[in-house]
Amino acid sequence: MNDPIDPPISSESAGDEQVLGGGVANAGRVVRVGSEVRRPAPPQSRLVHTFLHHLQSVGFGLGPEPLGWDDEGREQLSFIDGDVPGHPYADWVWSEELLTNVAHAQRRLHDAAATFGGDPAAGWAESAGAYFPPRALAAATPLFCHNDLGLSNVVVRDSEVVGFIDFDYVRAVDPLFDIGVAARHWAPLGVPLAREGRPPSLDRVRRFGLFADAHGLSVNDRHRVLDLVTDFLAAAFHNVQALATAGNSGFETMIDDGYLVANHQSRAWIIANRKRLTS
């Protein structure tokens, strides 16, 4: 295993690079080279690699192995073979079996992260801007979490989760925030974008209940998850606009697809359905 602080720089030729689909911030810039993934390295990538090394060391097998950086400065990670949901979403993405598997895998990730000794005050996810609302960072017992377990960051085979990818937003937070971000996408909580192809017959209240049950959440926990999701959506509303204004084409596309309206409607839906979601 490479040293997590100062891993070697690879001199391997990029050779045949296969562009991998999905993602927003790095859309079109993540490639596969043989058994590796190479992607733009965010400023916090060395910190993220220490976290990934920890997951490897405690036997959490659903994260990519960090392999260092190539001669272009891109981070190198092991490729996890499987299917990653993409637009428009196929019907298998919405199976209740997969929904609960995601929650159980996330719970395993939390257990693995509990022994990580990273410094919460280091430069984790500084490039994320307003992504983290204040209540998410004010937990009495913070935990280093993924914080971005949307559909495109989960690798699946036969309704089983075989990997989590894109750990750029790892940071010590209230773990209920991490659960809320995942539930926002997987339940889903709120209103979808048209391009996502989400079936209109999904019972979002039931699906949130299944996700929360898999995490063993109390009624009070569920209320706090909804508070944190609402905070997250309010922060994301402004953050997406800022990133689009800065020229990030992925976020410009989100706005063109109606994200800002869907975000506002999603917050309203959560507020209107809070009693049903927590009963």
Domain boundaries, the chain: 9-78, 91-278
C-alpha dist (Å) from residue 86 to 31, 134, 241 = 16, 31, 22
Per-residue pLDDT at 2 exceeds 70: no
Tokens in use for 208? 């949130």
- What is the helix, strand, coil percentage profile of the chain, to 5? 45, 15, 40
Average pLDDT on 8-17 reads 50
Confidence band, pLDDT 50/70/90 cuts, at residue 14: very low
Question: How much is the mean pLDDT over the chain?
Answer: 89
Tokens in use for 121? 């005050």
Tokens in use for 185? 């996408």
**What whole-number distance in Å separates Cα of residue 276 and Cα of residue 279?**
5
Average pLDDT on 8-19 reads 57
DSSP 8-state class, residue 122:
S
Average pLDDT on 56-66 reads 98
pLDDT score recorded for residue 126: 64
Confidence band, pLDDT 50/70/90 cuts, at residue 23: low
pLDDT score recorded for residue 26: 75
pLDDT score recorded for residue 1: 29
Of 15-24, 97-106, 117-126, least confident by mean pLDDT is 15-24
pLDDT score recorded for residue 29: 81
Q: Which residues of 78-102 are buried (b: 16+ CB within 10 A; e: fewer)?
A: bbbeeebbeeebeeebbeeebbbbb
Confidence band, pLDDT 50/70/90 cuts, at residue 196: confident
pLDDT score recorded for residue 3: 34
Per-residue pLDDT at 124 exceeds 50: yes
pLDDT score recorded for residue 224: 98
Q: Tell me the percentage of the chain whose pLDDT exceeds 90.
A: 70
**What whole-number distance in Å separates Cα of residue 225 and Cα of residue 230?**
9
- Output the CATH code of domain 91-278: 3.90.1200
Average pLDDT on 228-236 reads 94
pLDDT tens digits, 66-99: 999 999 999 999 999 999 998 888 999 999 999 9
Phi, psi angle pair for 175, to nearest 5° = -60, -20
Per-residue pLDDT at 250 exceeds 90: no
Confidence band, pLDDT 50/70/90 cuts, at residue 248: confident
**What whole-number distance in Å separates Cα of residue 147 and Cα of residue 1?**
26
Per-residue pLDDT at 197 exceeds 80: no
Average pLDDT on 197-224 reads 93
Q: Tell me the percentage of the chain whose pLDDT exceeds 70.
A: 89
pLDDT score recorded for residue 20: 84
